[in-house]
Amino acid sequence: MDGTLALYGLLALTTLPPLVPNSGLLVSAGVLASEGHAALPLVLAIVAGSALLGDLLMYLVARRFGGPVRAWMLRRPRRRAALEWTARHVRRHGVPFVIAVRFLPSGRIAGPLTCGVLRYPVRRYLVGAGLAESLWAAYSVGLGYLGSAAAGNRLYAAAIGIGASVLVAAVGTAVEWGTRRRALRARGAGQTPGEPPCPDREEGDDQASPTAAA
């Protein structure tokens, strides 16, 4: 019982902040749930809820302190490119991109911060981030759960789950790299990518340009 509670606490602590490597832990939690040592619905709720809370905190900080956050992201070319690329796609695609960006390598940070800097509507952000983290939790924990059921061996299940996670991350990196490269080629050819209108603002909101001076 104490070990199960410790697992739940560890899942929450490692999922809340970004950039904490916990793929192996999530797969292991799925394996334990498959063997009856943890409650699958509770594992999914903790992982998705903790991740959503972390995303919301980053969004609110960027929304409240847009100037300093924007200045920090513009300080280095890589962060600036991530901000501009994410902002362009959030404006163009809205909630579907808020969901999709979560699965890109830098999306856990770039997505919430960019949405906050843009003052993207809170309700829309919560819908997109909530769906994204629910899908991410189901996918991450499900790899271990289904792998254990299929392989019948903890070690094999963990290897399958971690291998699948690495593959998905590699595909996400390739997609992100390809779309940014096409954008750079368009700029080099003298084409200016169309800037779609900003999302509808909530009452009292001022929609900020992500690259405006802080």
Q: What confidence score (pLDDT) does residue 206 get?
A: 45
Q: What confidence score (pLDDT) does residue 3 get?
A: 78
Intervals of the chain under pLDDT 50: 191-208, 213-214
Q: What confidence score (pLDDT) does residue 19 get?
A: 81
Q: What confidence score (pLDDT) does residue 213 get?
A: 41
The domain segmentation of the chain, as residue ranges, is 2-188
Mean of the per-residue pLDDT values of the chain:
80
Are the beta carbons of 129 and 112 closer than 8 angstroms?
yes
Q: What confidence score (pLDDT) does residue 45 get?
A: 96
Task: DSSP letter for 121, please.
Answer: -
Q: How far apart are the C-alpha atoms of 135 and 168, rounded to whole Å?
A: 14
Q: What confidence score (pLDDT) does residue 201 get?
A: 47
Q: What confidence score (pLDDT) does residue 199 get?
A: 46
Query: What's the CA dihedral at 120, 126, 131, 132 to 10 degrees?
Result: 60
